[in-house]
């Protein structure tokens, strides 16, 4: 049997540290800065995943090249992945993913390091659609402290996860980087995004179908396209979205503020129990949007009414400044008007003239301050 240095570390760890996690420092496993550590990381993951007491994988300070990798479970114990260095993606990775964590329980991704997707050199001309970080079917996960930089596509994609917290996370990419959503989520339950700073070229946070019980708090967004529910109603078989709470967030120089968007006349879905509260706007183009005629690049099959129903939505204590006059635009479906929409203490001032509100197929319940009026 081949015994690598990391394997030996694991064996010794089992013998000498009962009921404690074994530490795998990749610098002790042959990794050196400015080298490709893909093979070392893959082997280290295999050893760490087999540790019955759990394991910590450490990537120390330094810059390392890393190819496409999937860290897949199930594992025998909890895994902590501590990244303090910078990982650099291939220029043209195969497939739609760079680094994927998949199918296990009790993951902690921590540190002060950076996942550099190396997208800046190819924005506007890239063929690659690789997402920097994918979290697929993770139960009881925690991501804290690390940075996603210049992803070629979405920075983070969350799918099929339960009880995942992302905190003190940073996303950075140019304002003109295409389709680089900061954190995209779908078909997951019990996710929290806390104390996070996102600046990118698309939605800071985008919520796809099947998302339930999402909490977003103390997030700063900008540049970017704001915080969005959707788009929904494009594909058959979409699952309902419900229980989304966005609180105490700040949007600075973004294209949109808080938004719900669905495609016209394609597929049915249901959006309910959505709440935006205590939102600060700083020079946002379109602060509050419900757009049920969402049709990017004229890709719609029809301009008919959206089949997505929207209900039990609240916008509370949203204040600040906007660039364009239409501070509030709510275009709901003529076939399924929005119901039980509450607006409370809205105070938005336009920097280029009088602000206005335009509402179609919705009669919001208005309490407290309503500036601008019109709905």
Chain segment 154-192, per-residue pLDDT in tens:
999 999 999 999 999 999 999 999 999 999 999 999 999
Cis peptide bond prior to 74, omega within 30° of 0: yes
Burial of 50 (0-12, 13-18, 19+ CB in 10 A): middle
State how far the Cα of 74 lies from the Cα of 105, in Å rounded to an integer.
7
- Distance from C-alpha of 309 to C-alpha of 68, rounded to nearest angstrom: 39
pLDDT one-digit tens code per residue, 313-348: 999 999 999 999 999 999 999 999 999 999 999 999
Angle at 204 between CA 331 and CA 185, to 5 degrees: 85
Q: Is residue 191 helix, strand or coil?
A: strand
**Residue carrying structure tokens 């009921």:** 19
Q: Report d(CA 59, CA 146) in Å as an integer.
A: 12
pLDDT tens string 70-111? 999 999 999 999 999 999 999 888 899 999 999 999 999 999
What is the per-residue pLDDT for 173? 97
- In this prediction, residue 301 carries a pLDDT of 78
- Residue 306: is it exposed, middle or buried by C-beta count within 10 angstroms (0-12/13-18/19+)? buried
Instruction: Assess whether pLDDT exceeds 50 at residue 10.
Output: no
pLDDT band at 6 (very low <50, low <70, confident <90, very high): low
Q: Is the pLDDT of residue 17 over 90?
A: no
Residue 223: cis peptide before it, omega within 30 degrees of 0 = yes
pLDDT band at 126 (very low <50, low <70, confident <90, very high): low
Residues known to be catalytic = 225
């Amino acid at each position: 049997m081949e015994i690598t240095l990391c394997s030996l570390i694991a064996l010794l760890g089992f013998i000498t540290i009962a009921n404690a996690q074994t530490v795998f420092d990749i610098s002790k496993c042959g990794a050196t800065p400015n080298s490709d550590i893909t093979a070392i990381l893959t082997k280290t993951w295999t050893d760490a995943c087999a540790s019955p007491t759990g394991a910590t994988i450490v990537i120390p300070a330094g810059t390392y090249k890393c190819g496409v990798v999937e860290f897949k479970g199930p594992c025998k114990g909890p895994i902590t992945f501590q990244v303090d260095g910078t990982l650099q993606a291939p220029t043209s990775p195969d497939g739609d993913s760079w680094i994927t964590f998949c199918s296990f329980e009790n993951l902690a991704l921590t540190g002060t390091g950076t996942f550099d997707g190396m997208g800046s050199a190819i924005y506007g001309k890239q063929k690659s659609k690789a997402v920097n970080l994918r979290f697929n079917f993770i139960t009881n996960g925690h991501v804290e402290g690390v940075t996603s930089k210049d992803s070629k596509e979405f920075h983070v994609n969350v799918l099929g996860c339960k009880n995942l917290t992302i905190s003190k996370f940073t996303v950075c990419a140019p304002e003109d980087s295409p389709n680089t959503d900061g954190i995209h989520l779908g078909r997951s339950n019990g996710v929290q995004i806390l104390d996070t700073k996102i600046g990118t070229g698309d939605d800071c946070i985008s919520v796809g179908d099947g998302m339930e019980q999402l909490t977003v708090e103390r997030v700063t967004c900008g540049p970017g396209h704001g915080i969005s529910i959707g788009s929904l109603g494009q594909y058959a078989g979409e699952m309902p979205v419900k229980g989304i709470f966005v609180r105490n967030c700040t949007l600075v120089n973004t294209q949109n503020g808080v938004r719900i968007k669905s495609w016209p006349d394609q597929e049915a879905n249901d959006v309910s129990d959505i709440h935006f509260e205590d939102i600060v706007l700083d020079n946002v183009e379109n602060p509050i949007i419900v757009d049920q005629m969402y049709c990017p690049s004229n890709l719609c099959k029809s301009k008919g009414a959206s089949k997505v129903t929207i209900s039990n939505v609240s916008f509370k204590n949203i204040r600040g400044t906007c660039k364009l006059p239409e501070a509030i635009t709510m275009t709901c479906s003529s076939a399924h008007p929005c119901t039980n929409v509450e607006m409370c203490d809205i105070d938005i001032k336009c920097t280029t003239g009088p602000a206005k509100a335009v509402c179609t197929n919705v009669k919001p319940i208005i309490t407290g301050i309503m500036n601008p009026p019109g709905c």
